[in-house]
Structure 1
Amino acid sequence: MARRPALSPSRASDFRQCPLMFRLRTIDRIPEPPSAAATLGTLVHSVLEDLFDLPADARTEEAATAAVAPGWERMLAKKPELADLHEDDAALASWLEDGRARVRTYFTLENPTRLEPTGREEFVELQLPNGPLLRGIIDRVETAPDGSIRLSDYKTGKTPHPRYGTKERFQMKFYALLVERLKGTRPALLQLLFLKDGGTLMLRPTAEDIANVEAEIRDLWAEIAACARTAEFRARPSKLCDWCSFQALCPQFGGTPPELTADKAMTALGVA
C-alpha cells in the first residue's frame, strides 16, 4: 500500500532549490540514475547503523572499515545496476577507500563503545494540524536515564561554512519538532557529524526554535500548495543546475516537462 503524500526535509530542500525539480521528483516521480556520491552516503550510513549490532567492545574502527566492502556487495546484489557507477576496478577501489576514510573519520568524532542508541534509522511521521503530513528518518536516537533525548545525523560531505548550513539546521530542527510532538519531550541536543572533514554542528533547540521551524514549514507548504493549485512549478536556475539529472526536461536547457494538471498535482501532494 502506497504511503500518503508527506513533506520531508529532503523534499522541502528540493522545493527551495528549484520548484520544478521538486515537482519532477515528487509529483511526476521521474526515475533518476544513481550517483556515486549518494550511493557512497547510503553505504556509509549502513555500515554505521550496523556497527551498533555488535557488542560494545567489538565496535572498533577495524571492524567498521572491514564492513565497507561486504556492505557494497550486498547493495550490488539488490541493485546490480550500481556496478555502472564505476568505470573499472581501480575506480571502484578508490571509491571504497573513500567510504573507509569516512568511517575512520567517524571514530575521531565519537567512541561508539560508550553509546547505546535507542533508535537507528528511526522512522518518524506527524500530521501537522491544519498542515501537511511530516515524515523523516533519523539516523540515530539516544535516550538518557533522565529521559533527555539526543538526535544524531551523519553527513558524508564536508562541514558547511558558518555562514551557510541553513539546510542542515532546518533538517535537525524539523526532526526536533517531530520528536517533541510525538514523544512529548524536546530533544536536548541535535548533532550533525560531517564525515568528510570531521566537523560537527551541534544545536540545543529552544521553544522558540520549535515554533519558528513550524512556522517555516507552514509557509513553505503554503507555497507548495499554491503551485499545485495552478500546476505551475517553475525552474529556479542556480549553480546547482550543473548537477541536476532533469536537464532534458527543463526549459532552461531547452527541455519540456511532462504535462501536468492541477488535479494531478493536488492529488499527488494531498492538497485540498
Structure 2
Amino acid sequence: MQEQLGFDFGAMPRKLVRVTPSKLANWADCPRRYRMAYLDRPSPPRGGAWAHNTLGAVVHNALKALFDLPADKRSPEQAVALVHRQWKNDGFRDQEQAAVYRERADGWVRDYVSDLDTSIEPVGVERWVSTPTSKIVAEGRVDRIDLRDGELVIVDYKTGRHALTVDDARGSQALALYALAARRTLRKPCTRVELHHLPTGTVSAWDHTDESLGRHVSRAEEAADELSLATDTLTAGGDPEILFPPRTGRQCTWCDFRRSCPDGQQAAPSLDPWAMLAP
C-alpha cells in the first residue's frame, strides 16, 4: 500500500548542498580557487590585504555600527566618526594615501546618511538568512533588510570604482538568493533588491518575479551539482587538478591564492595592493 501511494522507504533522501553566493562565485570564477578556499586542508596561504577591500569593509562596518545606535543618534557626523573608528590602513601604499581615501569614505557616508531616513528600523543588519530549495540550502549575510509597506527589501552596499545599473541588480545571483532566503527566514514577501553605490550616491533596483527568482535558483542548483560532484569525487580519491582546473584570466591578478598557483601567475601580472582603488 505504501509503495502504491508513492512512498519509497528504501531510498535515502538526497542531501542538500549548502551554498553561499561567495562559494558559488568562487566556483564560477575558478574551480581551483574554490578548492583552495574551501577544501584544501591546510588551506594554502592567502595574499595580503587589498586597499579597495579595506575601504569597502570600513564603510560596511561603519554603516552597520550606525544602525546599532538609537535612531536619534544616526547623524551624518556620527557616521563619519564611525568611519574613523573603523579605519585601517591595510593595503594602502602609505599613511598619506590612506588619509586621502579615508576622506573620500567620510564624504560617501556623510552624503549617504544625509539623504537617508535614519528613523527607519531595519529588520536586519548583517543578518544571516537561509532557505532550502529542492537541491540546495542557499544562505548568506545581508548588509541590510528593510521593511517597506509590508514587504522586505534587500539592500546591498557597494563601494567599487564603477557605477552600477539596473542590469547589475537584476543579474545579481547573490541578491536573488538573499531575497528568497529573507522571505523564508523572516516570513514576509520579498521581491525588491537594491544596490546602493555610495561613491555615486545612486540606487540600482530590481523587482523580481517568481519566474526570475526561479531562474537564479536553477543556475545556483546547476553550479551546486557540479561542485558537489567534484567534491565527492575528490574525496573518493579523484585527481584534484582534473576535478578543479584553473580558470585563468584578469581575475588571477587579485586572487588570494596567486602565490600558490603558477598558472595564475603566468596568466596575469601582479599588481600593487592599492592598484584597484579609483583614481
Given the two structures, how large is their TM-score scaled by the length of structure 2? 0.75
Counterpart of 2:18 in structure 1 is 6
Find the aligned partners of 2:252 and 2:61 in 1 and give their Cα distance: 29
Q: Deviations over 1:151-198 (max 9, x none)?
A: 1111111323666x3796211101112122334433142111011222
Match for residue 179 of structure 1? 182
Are the counterparts in 2 of residues 13 and 167 from structure 1 also a CA contact under 8 Å?
Answer: no
Q: Which amino acid aligns with 1:124?
A: V
Q: CA deviation at 1:13?
A: 1.1
Aligned length: 239
Aligned pair in 2 of structure 1 residues 62, 166: CA closer, same or farther (>3 Å)? Answer: closer
Partner of 1:102: 108
The one-letter amino acid paired with 1:113 is: T
The one-letter code matched in structure 1 to 2:263 is Q
1:38 aligns with 2:76: no
Q: Which runs of 5+ in 1 are unaligned?
A: 77-82, 256-272
Instruction: Give the one of 210, 214, 217 matched to 2:213.
Output: 210
Range 243-252 or range 33-42, more displaced = 243-252
1:6 counterpart SS class:
strand
* 1:225 has 2:236 as partner: no
Alignment of 1:1-272 (within 5 A): 6-28=18-40, 29-32=43-46, 33-72=48-87, 85-107=91-113, 110-129=115-134, 131-144=135-148, 147-157=150-160, 158-160=162-164, 165=168, 169-228=172-231, 229=233, 230=238, 231=240, 232-253=243-264
Q: Which moved more, 1:210-219 or 1:183-192?
A: 183-192
Deviations along 1:62-90, one digit per CA (max 9) or x if unpaired, are 22112211122xxx6xxxxxx55344331
Secondary structure at 1:151 match in 2? strand
In the aligned structure 1, how far is the partner of 2:223 from the partner of 2:181? 17
SS at match of 1:137: strand
Q: 1:188 to 1:211 in 2, by over 3 A?
A: closer
C-alpha distance in 1 between matches for 2:144 and 2:227:
29
Residue type matched to 2:251 in 1? Answer: L
Higher helix share: 1
SS in 1 for 2:246: coil
The two structures, once aligned, show a CA RMSD in angstroms of 2.6
Using structure 1 for the length normalisation, give the TM-score.
Answer: 0.77
Structure 2 residues without counterparts, runs of 5 or longer: 1-15, 267-279
Contact 2:170/2:205, CA 8 A, preserved across alignment: no
Percent pairwise identity? 28
Report the alpha carbon displacement of residue 5 of structure 1 after superposing the two structures with TM.
7.9
Bigger CA radius of gyration: 2
Task: Sort the Cα spacing of 1:31 and 1:167 in 2 relative to 1 into closer, same or farther, 3 A.
Answer: farther
